[in-house]
Amino acid sequence: MCTPKNRMRRCQNGFSLVEAILFIVIVSVALAGVLSVMNLTTQRSADPLIRKQAIVVAESLLEEIEQQNFSNPSGGFSGAATQANRALFDDIGDYNGFATTGIFPIDGATAIPELAGYNSAVSVADTTLGPAGAQIPAGSVKLISVTITGPDNVPVVLSGYRSAYGS
């Protein structure tokens, strides 16, 4: 406050122009940072849905494969691993190399429309299982890997083992 004693000094009330500009710049930078985080969060909010759908499809296909016979039964199917032959698959080896563009029901020729942006790929390989010295030998265990790629091109890979138990 200006009084008669300090008239010689400049009296200031309020903010200077420099202080006001600095305040505006600092608030603008902070607001831009907060808004960019919110924008990124909003853009990625659908990702969990895509990932969950891919996991459900992978679990379903892996379960379908694991329920098949370990080895080809006498007179069993031995053709190409395509969707057209899928209903004929009778052992886990029939799924090796199986791949689709779109997700199909087990006996369907038409992709499920809601899952048209998803693709699948399967590999079945001989492996060993267990600790050294007590392993189940190769040929008695197979590693099944199911890869589902969603519309975001991020693959989800689920793997399971199937052994020749009971034989």
Q: Looking at the 3D structure of the chain, how many domains does it have? A: 1
pLDDT at 82: 92
pLDDT at 46: 61
pLDDT at 99: 96
pLDDT at 12: 63
Query: CA triplet 144, 145, 146: central angle to 5 degrees?
Result: 120
Mean pLDDT of 8-22: 78
In a domain, 146, yes or no: yes
In a domain, 150, yes or no: yes
pLDDT tens for 34-45 read: 999 998 887 776
In a domain, 129, yes or no: yes
Q: With 90 as the cut, is the pLDDT of residue 10 above it?
A: no
pLDDT tens for 44-79 read: 766 688 899 999 999 999 999 999 999 988 988 989
In a domain, 28, yes or no: no
In a domain, 13, yes or no: no
Separation CA 144–CA 142 (nearest Å): 6
Domain encompassing residue 126: 48-163
Do residues 85 and 100 make contact, with C-beta atoms less than 8 angstroms apart? no
